[in-house]
Amino acid sequence: MASRILLPATLGAAALALAIALPQACAARPAQHHAAKAAPAPASAAVQPVANAPRLIVAISIDQFSADLFAQYRSHFTGGLARLATGAVFPSGYQSHAATETCPGHATILTGVRPGRAGIIANTWIDQSVGRAKKTVYCAEDETATAADPKDYVASVGHLLVPTLGERIKALWPASRNVAVSGKDRGALMMGGHAIDAVYWWKGSGFTSLDGRTPSAAAVNENKSLAPVLAEGAPALALPEWCKAKDRAVPLGAFSVGNGHFALAAGDKGSFRASPRLDRATLDLATELLDEQNLGKDIVPDVLSVSLSATDYVGHAFGTEGAEMCIQLQELDLALGDFFIALDQRRIDYAVVLTADHGGFDMPERLGEQALPAAHRVSKTLLPEALSAAVAAKTGLAAEGLVLSDGASGDLWLRRDLTAEDKARALAALKAELIANPEVAAAFTADEIAASPAPTGSPETWPLIARAKASFYRPRSGDLVLMLHRGVVPIPAPGPGYVATHGSPWDYDRRVPMLFWRGGMTGFEQPSPVETVDIAPTLAALIGLPVPAGAFDGRCLDLDAGTGTTCGAAK
Ligand code: ZN
């Protein structure tokens, strides 16, 4: 690509100002616009995309696709993942922060900033000031709004504090289209951002959008085509030859996993979601949106974000090393291949980045059989009820709701009505209780994290507190962050649909592949660690989007295999 990509020599001040000024209240925008794009080159923009900039950026996140899974299955891919593996391959991408969950991970990919700066510290946090009984706040909800169904919530991207790449492009070149689709609302919203032309995610039995938006024909058609499968079920999927060795039941008490082939019973929506069928549906909708949203049709680059959630649901439900994950990755590879062929057929000049929001870890029952006997499930001593009792015993404070958390790892909060003195005593007691627990690797108070230096250097060697700092945002973070030892799985007991997970500060959850691909490019492999926050600056430079200094936590990765550069002056 050496000769194809050049940065503009000068960046106008007006353009920079435009790039900085971003829409603030777009989450409540009414229905998306379906009109064809206006002619390129809006008069207000002094800066144009670089010559030969791709006309469409396709940003793909495979939920829970660890660097380990990519390495394990790489030689078997023949479809879309095989194509991307001929591009610029960074097998050691890092979701470098400690809270390796879906929402923070997706928030890094197209913002170029770490989750703390994005304000997305975790999938959920506890905000004791919210004016409702439930104090747990979901990252992609508007907790100040009331859903029509009291058991539901109002989806929103309002918690995201920074713009996405698609928003930055739209701010400078308003004709650009910013479209996102996912199996999860947080996947679509955190990649798309606030100013988004079309956004869809899977919910229940079909794709839906933000409140106030009427699903377009593409979504309506996709939902219609899926209805018979959901209603009538579907047969098991084929087991590839190389999956046979993994096709073995591992008992987990009353049920077992490891040998599932995704036969779908009539009406079983949950099993549809935790299967390759969800990803195929998401990519089918993405394909329909190419046409409906006129993506990639003019010189102003568009952004299509695709977050594929089934790998995560499969990982949680069946672990990462059974026949289920093997079939899932085979089917995903083929579905991605078909999606890229659909792009090729439309003669769109597109560039792809594919990564993951976090990695994953198998269930300890199978890990124990497979040479990792140290892996085990966390004890219940780290759940908030047990910690509340322990801290109450040490301090004399009332135990009821003294320590609050969503589980046995991550952020912990103390009851907010404590006096400053009692809070300090409780915090010291809590920290002492935690670090004395043999399952705990580290426990940092908010003050300790706030005072620690910002992470620098290779994410591979960051100390644990730096990893915590990368997903720390004081107004939302806990009073203390708890990290379990490597190999301690924070699910005390497995249940159907939830046997394995991610979320730790360890590399099995932090390392993800980062693959960049464009037609005609010369591929290369760079095994040294990079970060997912490098993706946005890399893509911004690829299209010649001016971005203010300091806007990103990451750096531009030069995608030119030779002496040229795709990073312009930023290299
Ligand atoms: Zn995820």
Q: What is the pLDDT of residue 21?
A: 39
Identify whether 532 is a catalytic site residue: no
Pairwise CA distance, residues 142 & 171, whole Å: 24
pLDDT at position 173: 96
**36 Cα to the center of ligand 1, angstroms:** 34
Structure confidence at residue 107 (pLDDT): 98
Q: Does residue 23 carry a pLDDT above 70?
A: no
521 C-alpha vs ligand 1 centroid, how far in Å? Answer: 30
Q: Which pLDDT score is estimated for 46?
A: 78
- How far is the centre of ligand 1, averaged over its atoms, from the C-alpha of 323 (Å)? 20
Dihedral sign computed on CA atoms, order 289, 292, 296, 299: negative
Cα of 65 from ligand 1 centre, angstroms: 9
The SS3 assignment for 470 reads: helix
For the cut 80, the answer to whether the pLDDT of residue 369 exceeds it is: yes
Of residues 343, 274, 341, 334, the one with CA closest to residue 302: 343
Q: Which of 15-24, 127-136, 235-244, 359-368 has the lowest mean pLDDT?
A: 15-24
Distance between CA atoms of 133 and 142, rounded to whole angstroms? Answer: 15
Give the pLDDT confidence of 42-53 residue by residue, as tens digits: 444 478 999 899
Can you tell me the distance from the alpha carbon of 276 to that of 263, in angstroms, rounded to the nearest whole number?
A: 11
- How many angstroms separate the CA atoms of 352 and 99, rounded? 26
Mean pLDDT value across residues 346-366: 98
Q: Tell which wins on pLDDT, 503 or 16.
A: 503
Q: What is the pLDDT of residue 569?
A: 54
106 C-alpha to ligand 1 centroid (Å): 8
> Model confidence over 325-349: pLDDT tens digits?
999 999 999 999 999 999 999 999 9
Residue 4 has pLDDT above 80, yes or no: no
496 Cα to the center of ligand 1, angstroms: 18
Q: Sign (positive/negative) of CA torsion 96, 98, 99, 104?
A: negative
Per-residue pLDDT, 8: 33
**How much is the average pLDDT of 15-24?**
36
First-residue to last-residue Cα distance in the chain: 15
Residue 91 has phi, psi (to 5 degrees) of -75, -15
Confidence bin at 76 (pLDDT 50/70/90): very high
Distance between Cα 508 and ligand 1 center (Å): 13
Q: Count CB atoms within 10 A of the CB of residue 20.
A: 15
HSE, side-chain direction, 13 A CA sphere, residue 264: 22
CA of 513 to the centre of ligand 1 (A): 14
Q: Are strands 403-404 and 530-531 parallel, antiparallel or unpaired?
A: unpaired
Given a cut of 50, whether residue 3 has pLDDT beyond it is no
The pair of structure tokens assigned to 32 is: 């998306």
What's the pLDDT score for residue 13? Answer: 34
Q: What is the pLDDT of residue 571?
A: 39
Reported as a single tens digit per residue, the pLDDT across 534-553 is 999 999 999 999 999 999 99
Quote the ligand 1 centre to 103 CA distance (angstroms): 7
Torsion of CA 66, 71, 77, 83, to 10 degrees: 80
Residues 6+ apart with CB under 8 A from 50: 5, 6, 7, 8, 542, 543, 544
Catalytic option among 100, 102, 311, 532: 102
Tell me, in angstroms, the distance from the centre of ligand 1 to residue 273's CA: 14
Q: Which amino acid is at 287?
A: T
Alpha-carbon 437 to chain mean position:
31
Q: Is the pLDDT of residue 7 over 80?
A: no
Helix, strand, coil shares of the chain, percent, nearest 5, are 35, 15, 50
Of residues 565, 36, 20, the one with CA closest to residue 293: 36
Ligand 1 geometric centre to CA of 570 (Å):
31
Question: 391: which 2 tokens?
Answer: 């801290």
For residue 90, the cross-strand partners are 514
Q: CA-based Rg of the chain, rounded to a whole angstrom?
A: 23
Q: How far apart are CA 332 and CA 9, in angstroms?
A: 41
Helices (H), ranges, 144-260 = 165-172, 185-192, 217-232
What would the 3-class secondary structure string for 490-556 be? CCCCCECCECCCCCCCCHHHHEEEEEEEECCCCCEECCCCEEHHHHHHHHHHHHCCCCCCCCCCCCC
Could you tell me the CA-to-CA distances from 540 to 12, 168, 169, 554 in Å, in that order?
Answer: 16, 9, 9, 12
pLDDT, tens digit (0-9, with 9 covering 90-100), for 288-310: 999 999 999 999 999 999 999 99
At 157-215, the pLDDT tens digits run 999 999 999 999 999 999 999 999 999 999 999 999 999 999 999 999 999 999 999 99
**Cβ(465)–Cβ(449) under 8 Å?**
yes
- Using 50, 70 and 90 to split pLDDT, how confident is the model at 40? very low
How do residues 409-428 score in pLDDT, each as one tens digit? 999 999 999 999 999 999 99
Q: Which two tokens stand for residue 487?
A: 């190999």
HSE at residue 378, side-chain half, CA atoms within 13 A, is 28
Distance 190 CA to ligand 1 centre (A): 12
Please state, in angstroms and rounded to a whole number, the distance separating the CA atoms of residues 360 and 504: 9
Amino acid at residue number 262: F
> Which is nearest to 276 in space by CA: 221, 220, 317, 228?
317
Please state whether beta strands 410-414 and 480-484 pair in parallel, antiparallel, or not at all (unpaired).
antiparallel
457-461 average pLDDT score:
97
Q: Is the pLDDT of residue 39 over 90?
A: no
Q: For residue 488, is pLDDT > 70?
A: yes
Token pair of 179 as six digits: 């479209």
Give yes or no for a contact between 529 and 553, defined as CB atoms under 8 angstroms apart.
no
CA of 63 to the centre of ligand 1 (A): 4
- For residues 65 and 312, give the distance between their C-alpha atoms in angstroms, rounded to a whole number: 8
pLDDT for the residue 57 = 98
Question: Do residues 294 and 181 touch, judged by C-beta distance below 8 A?
Answer: no
Supply the pLDDT for residue 150. 87
Distance 349 CA to ligand 1 centre (A): 29
524 vs 235: CA distance, rounded Å: 40
How far apart are alpha carbons 287 and 292 in whole angstroms? 9
Burial class (CB in 10 A: 0-12, 13-18, 19+), 430: buried
Structure tokens at 197: 């032309």
Cα(192) to centroid of ligand 1, in Å? 16
For the segment 214-241, the average pLDDT, to the nearest whole number, is 97
Residue 151 sits at φ, ψ, to 5 deg, of -85, -5
